[in-house]
Amino acid sequence: MKRFLAILFLVIILFGAWYLFFKKDKKVAIPGPEPIAVKKHSEGFNKNVANMMNAYFNMKDAFVEADTVAVKQQAGKFISSVDSMNLDDLKKGDSLSYISAQQNISDIIANTKPITEENDLTEMRHDFSMVSENLYPFLKTIGYEGNKIFWQNCPMAFGEDKPANWLSSTSEVDNPYLGKKDPQYNSAMLHCGENMDSIYLK
């Protein structure tokens, strides 16, 4: 009888242990909603940046089409949008960012103006490359808060081992340096390039 009770007691203990560790459902932690990104800049400031970027993208698209007349027109509109940028929002934060952004603006305008004066498409594209190299750090400096932008690269924009970068509103590559009407490749290299980075409000 004692042996039976001992076995019964052992069975009860084993069943309890099994139920506790294996049968009992464990609570699964449910992740909460992602925190909403808070914008630091005023609506007016972000609208100015959006207008500037739209003008840049229109200029980039004109390069894709190899349309020098449209490139000049869009370059002029881009200069106007950059020139009208009000950086007062940046004064509220880091003064170094404000100074850096001012220098970026100055460099962007200086490199865009020759595009409106030149007729050689290759030279215009070289200047566009410099504009892009100035615009990319500007967006980083100001803490860009608009729609996602992609930083793209073509490893042979100006020939073998001569790369160049640009900004795009989409991840799809439409190459402004080789474009649709390249004298050597026609449109075969239109999508030559890759996404190197992206800029957006996190």
| Neighbour-count burial for 150-177, b at 16+ CB within 10 Å, e otherwise | bbbbbebbeeeeeebbbbbbeeebbbbb
Alpha carbon distance 202, 143 (integer Å): 10
What does the pLDDT look like over 71-129, one tens digit per residue? 999 999 999 999 999 998 888 777 788 999 999 999 999 999 999 999 999 999 999 99
Alpha carbon distance 54, 44 (integer Å): 15
Query: Both tokens of residue 181?
Result: 């009407």
**Predicted confidence (pLDDT) at residue 15 exceeds the cutoff of 80:** no
Mode of pairing for the β-strands spanning 164-168 and 149-154: antiparallel
pTM: 0.82
Least confident of 6-10, 175-179, 195-199: 6-10
User: Given its phi and psi angles, is residue 167 left (phi above 0), alpha (psi -120 to 50 degrees) or beta?
Assistant: beta
